[in-house]
Structure formats: structure tokens, C-alpha cells
């Protein structure tokens, strides 16, 4: 595994978004999130990215591990959380969900991808970072 740096995570982000763009370019908008999820798993495999699909997000409440059955769509290279949507518009609750997954998994970066848009690059994806990212070396 690569040493986590901002440069590495930015390059990895480029690969992840590229895979999502390929899926969106091939299928277009209007399908169920589960269809995009399956196709994106295939694209990640083609790009030889290590990923966990529907990864369980642990919840520790006051020292007690809770069985909350939270699942994020993907964890890529044990570094970036990817959450997929196929909805009319991203709402603040979706952003909060991703940021919470990043915090609970202690991962520095997250990408929210909405396949229900005309241009995934311009309007269908947004990247988020947290304090873990800010504390990483540049390269």
C-alpha cells in the first residue's frame, strides 16, 4: 500500500472519478443506484484498484461497539470513502452521511457521486476532505 499523502489521494481520486465517468458515459442517467454500483465494481477491478464494497462502518458509542448496520458503498485502497446516489439532487443530509462515514472510518477523503445528472464531471461528483487529510504530507 502507498504511503498516504495528499498527492497520492488526489491521484487516486482522479482514477475513481474516471471510473465513474466511464460508467456514466456508457449507461447514462436514470438507472437505479444498484446498477451503477455493480458497474463501478467492474470498473474498479479493470483499473486494479483495491476496494471494499458495501463496507460496514463501525459505530463506537462511549466505548461500546454498536451494531448499527451502517454501510458505505465503497472504501477504495483503504483511503477514500465513495458514496453513490442516483437522485434528483444531492441534499445536505447526503453530504453529512459521507462526512460521518469518513470520521467513523478515520479516512481522509470522500467522494459523493450522483449518477442522475447530465454531466458527471461537472455536476455529478464532489470531493470532501477532513482533518485527517489536512494533516497528511503533500507528497
The helix/strand/coil state of 1 is coil
Region 110-130: what's the mean pLDDT?
Answer: 95
Domain presence at residue 139: no
Domain presence at residue 97: yes
Q: What was the pLDDT predicted at 67?
A: 86
Angstrom distance (rounded) from CA 125 to CA 109: 13
Domain presence at residue 55: yes
Percent of the chain with pLDDT over 90: 92
The confidence band for 2, taking pLDDT boundaries of 50, 70 and 90, is low
Domain count, the chain: 1
In sequence order, what are the beta bridge partners of 60?
Answer: 65
Average pLDDT score, the chain? 95
Q: What was the pLDDT predicted at 3?
A: 82
- Indicate if the pLDDT at residue 1 is higher than 60: no
Cα 47 → chain centroid: 16
- Indicate if the pLDDT at residue 61 is higher than 70: yes
Residue 100: count of CB within 10 angstroms of its CB: 16
Region 11-39: what's the mean pLDDT?
Answer: 97
Domain presence at residue 90: yes
Domain presence at residue 1: no
In sequence order, what are the residues at sequence separation of 6 or more whose Cβ sits closer than 8 angstroms to the Cβ of residue 18?
Answer: 47
In sequence order, what are the residues at sequence separation of 6 or more whose Cβ sits closer than 8 angstroms to the Cβ of residue 98?
Answer: 72, 81, 83, 110, 112, 128
Domain presence at residue 19: yes
Cell numbers representing residue 87 in the block: 437522485
65-117 confidence digits (pLDDT tens): 998 889 999 999 999 999 999 999 999 999 999 999 999 999 999 999 999 99
Burial class (CB in 10 A: 0-12, 13-18, 19+), 99: middle
For residue 87, the enclosing domain spans 6-134
Amino acid at each position: 500500500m502507498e504511503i498516504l499523502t495528499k498527492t497520492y489521494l488526489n491521484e487516486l481520486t482522479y482514477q475513481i472519478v474516471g471510473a465513474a465517468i466511464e460508467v456514466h458515459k456508457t449507461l447514462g442517467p436514470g438507472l437505479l443506484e444498484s446498477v451503477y454500483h455493480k458497474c463501478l465494481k467492474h470498473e474498479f477491478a479493470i483499473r486494479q484498484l483495491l476496494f471494499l464494497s458495501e463496507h460496514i462502518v463501525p459505530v463506537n458509542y462511549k466505548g461500546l461497539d454498536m451494531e448499527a448496520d451502517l454501510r458505505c458503498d465503497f472504501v477504495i485502497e483503504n483511503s477514500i470513502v465513495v458514496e453513490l446516489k442516483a437522485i434528483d439532487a444531492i441534499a445536505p443530509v447526503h453530504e453529512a452521511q459521507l462526512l460521518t462515514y469518513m470520521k467513523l472510518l478515520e479516512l481522509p477523503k470522500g467522494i459523493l457521486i450522483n449518477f442522475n445528472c447530465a454531466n458527471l464531471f461537472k455536476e455529478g461528483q464532489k470531493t470532501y476532505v477532513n482533518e485527517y487529510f489536512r494533516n497528511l504530507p503533500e507528497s
